Structure 1
Amino acid sequence: MRDLSRILASDRVAVSGRRGVPRRRLVLAAAGTAVLAVAAGGVALETFRQPQPAFAATPAILSYGPPASAEPASTRLRQLAASAAAQPAPQRPAGTVEHLESANWFLNSSISGGRTTSAVVPQQWRSWRTDNDAGRMVKRDLPPTFRTAVDRREWQRRGGRVDSVQEVRDSAAGDFYTPFQGPVPTEAETLRQWLTAGAGAPEAPVQYLEDVAELAGVRLLNPAQRAAVLMLLADLPGITAAGTVTDRAGRHGEAFSIVSDAHGLPAQYTVIVDPGTGALLGYEEMLTTTAGKLNVVIPAVISYRSYLIAEYAPMPR
């Protein structure tokens, strides 16, 4: 967990200067709109009256270098998919299950009448899943941080928590993280249909990118499954190569983005891919042109996920 500690520590420095529920369709508050939304994993909004604070601090924006290839993003993603598919399947010791850990960061803002206060909420996710979709999910909300002491007091006055809280959910067979149960498909088109089973096709291509980002946080993907994810991304309209980047855990990756206003405000949705294994290293959402009623300075990262561990391990007792 040293990576997790370093990520959260570095973000607290920056500040000072899903989710065990079905997949969410995040609605961001456009300018002049009063909104009550939504689910963890994005920007949570509540409505009440309060003094207007200073701009909320958000994580430093990652520094992107030139793309690894001059070819279109779709071509490069297919190349990465081929590399992923060629990787050896991981060895699975007897008596082990899928074990994943991630560090996440979400901006939680309360908005009313053009007045906003915000808390920076780091989270740690850990999960263990068996082959019959039983398992355990542990979500720990770490103490939120605030731009000012005034924001903190106002947050507390309105009933917002300021301490750590941990939720442990044990699931019987067939109940673990219901959006993503059973074997993950190894073909892109089958994966596309599997992601939307029972919900219908999404209204915007970016929602497929969001779904695979959520999938990477709760399921251990083998080389063929990682290749299918990359092939699905390669076929998304509007996907571009954002460049090479060192992610928030210090790992080298290639970033691919879609800019969309499907959730209300124009935002850039980015996945970071390990060029060696094809695994997703991270996912970020960044407002690009306007913040609406959110008290952030544009451009602003409003959420990210950093996938730290994906392995086979014993189920904890």
Structure 2
Amino acid sequence: MADELDLLRRANPVPPEDPRFHDRPLDHHAERRLNRLLHGARPRSSRRRRGWAWSAATAVAVGVVACALVLSGPAPTPAVAAPRPLVVEAGSAPVPLDRLARRLAAADGSLRLRQGTHVQSWSLGMGPGSRPPVTLPEERIVRWRADGSHTELVVATDPRHPGRPVITDSGDGSPRTVDDGQVLSRHTYPPSWSDAPPMARPPHDARGLRAYLEEIGTRGQDLDTPALLDAVAGLLGHWTLGSRESVALVRVLADVPGLRPVGEVTDRLGRAGQAYVYEDAAHASRTMLVLDPATGAVLGLEETVTEDDATYGVEAGDVMSYRAWMR
């Protein structure tokens, strides 16, 4: 038995940093959908039920964190507002994903795949019948070492307002402020490995990467568009893609139903990108994917609501979450 336990510890099948194994409360988006399931009208199709169930489960697993604009200086109850969605530049030419994939393949980029991630994230957290609490904008850097161990640094920061206080959640549901750049957590994890996505090394061909994303999202079943975009976020939570993997991902995305090019945007870190939008009428949401036109790298994912919801105090156009990835 001792030998088997030792093998199990070394394999580390449930790493603490893997978001799929976190025990966290539902975020606002999952709570809205769960509330509709429990108290609203019965969905008209099994596909819609699967979408709701997937969204709630994903929200629990991924636990996306937070952002709001800080409108005033330090105060016992800081003034906040939901960030506005990214705006497509008027007159800019949309670039179809298949054309972008051909351009990137011809460019023969030199960026290398790297395990680990560097991401800034924002989102709103809320519950029915109360004013939405605002959780912190944060920056997370995960770096892996040659021996299989890795470090994770999480810092409170909002790049749009450098040096100003950052709003965070005190843990009991009441917001508070912390200094910009304050370290929220710093961990070093022991060596671990897994041959299952997203821990496994991602392939650099479109067919292999599609199967890899399916394994992340639905354990081998076909992915719909929202689930695939969420699987992409899961991949980028563990890996910084190289040129070949980025080209493969763009080719996968080119075959995704409903993901349409809309033109150029400047993201929240000041980077120029091409935007692609998916409208999910069943869940009153809009997801924007932002790609670097020169490398194909995913710069960001933004989700906004498309209908007012008085129960949760949100209006059409409010940004529910935004993630910005960096190298």
> Normalized against structure 1, the TM-score is what?
0.69
- Counterpart in 1 of 2:314? 296
Are the structure 2 counterparts of residues 286 and 223 from structure 1 closer, same or farther at C-alpha, using a change threshold of 3 Å? same
Contact 1:42-1:302 within 8 A present in 2 as well:
no
CA distance in 2, matches of 1:144, 1:156: 15
Mapped partners of 2:261, 2:132: distance in 1 = 34
Shift of 1:219: 1.1
Partner of 1:145: 167
Deviation track 1:207-238 (CA, whole Å, cap 9, x = no partner) reads 11122134234312111100111111111111
2:134 is aligned to: 119
Gaps of 5+ in 1: 1-17, 45-54, 147-151, 311-317
- Kindly indicate which of the two structures has a greater share of residues assigned to strand: 1
Q: Does residue 309 of structure 2 align to residue 287 of structure 1?
A: no
Alignment of 1:123-134 (within 5 A): 123-130=138-145, 133-134=148-149
CA distance in 1, matches of 2:112, 2:225: 34
Q: State the TM-score, normalized to the length of structure 2.
A: 0.67
Shift of 1:132: 6.8
CA-atom RMSD in angstroms: 3.8
Measured in 2, the distance between the counterparts of 1:174 and 1:19 equals 11
1:189 matches 2:200? no
Question: Does the 8 Å CA contact 2:66/2:134 hold for their aligned counterparts?
Answer: no
Listed as ranges, the gaps of 5+ residues in structure 2 are: 1-15, 40-55, 68-78, 158-164
Most deviating of 137-146 and 242-251: 137-146
Sequence identity (%)? 23
What is aligned with 2:291?
A: 273
Which amino acid in structure 2 is aligned with residue 283 of structure 1?
L
- Post-superposition Cα deviations, 1:179-204, rounded to whole Å, max 9, x if no partner, equal 42232111222112112327233663
* Distance in 1 separating the partners of 2:195 and 2:138: 18
- How far is the alpha carbon of 1:239 from its aligned partner? 0.9
Q: Which contiguous aligned blocks of 4+ residues in structure 1 show a shift greater than 6 angstroms?
A: 23-26, 34-37
Question: What per-residue deviation string (whole Å, max 9, x for no partner) do you get for residues 229-263 of structure 1?
Answer: 1111111111111221111111111101111256x
User: Which structure would you say has the larger RCO, counting Cα contacts within 8 Å and 6 or more residues apart?
Assistant: 1
Equivalent of 2:120, from 103, 124, 148?
103
In the superposition, relative to structure 1, how do residues 20 and 139 fare at CA in structure 2: closer, same or farther (>3 Å)? farther
Q: Which residue of 2 aligns with 1:207?
A: 227
Aligned residue for 1:83, secondary structure, equals helix
Number of aligned pairs? Answer: 264
